[in-house]
Amino acid sequence: ETESKVHIVYLGEKKHHDPEFVTESHHQMLASLLGSKKDADDSMVYSYRHGFSGFAAKLTKSQAKKIADLPEVVHVIPDGFHELA
The CB-of-35 to other proteins minimum distance in angstroms stands at 20
Residue 74 to residue 4: CA distance in whole angstroms: 21
6 sits near other proteins (criterion: CB under 8 A)? yes
Q: How far is the CB of 65 from other proteins (least distance, A)?
A: 15
Distant-in-sequence, close-in-space partners of 30: CB < 8 Å, separation ≥ 6: 39, 40, 43, 44, 55, 57, 67
Q: Which is nearer to other proteins, 37 or 75 (CB)?
A: 75
Q: Are 54 and 15 in contact (CB under 8 A)?
A: no
- Residue 79 engages other proteins in binding (rule: CB under 8 A): yes
Should residue 50 be labelled a site residue for other proteins when binding is judged by CB under 8 A?
A: yes
Binding site for other proteins (CB under 8 A): 5-6, 8, 10-15, 19, 45-46, 48-52, 54, 56, 58, 72, 74-75, 77, 79-85
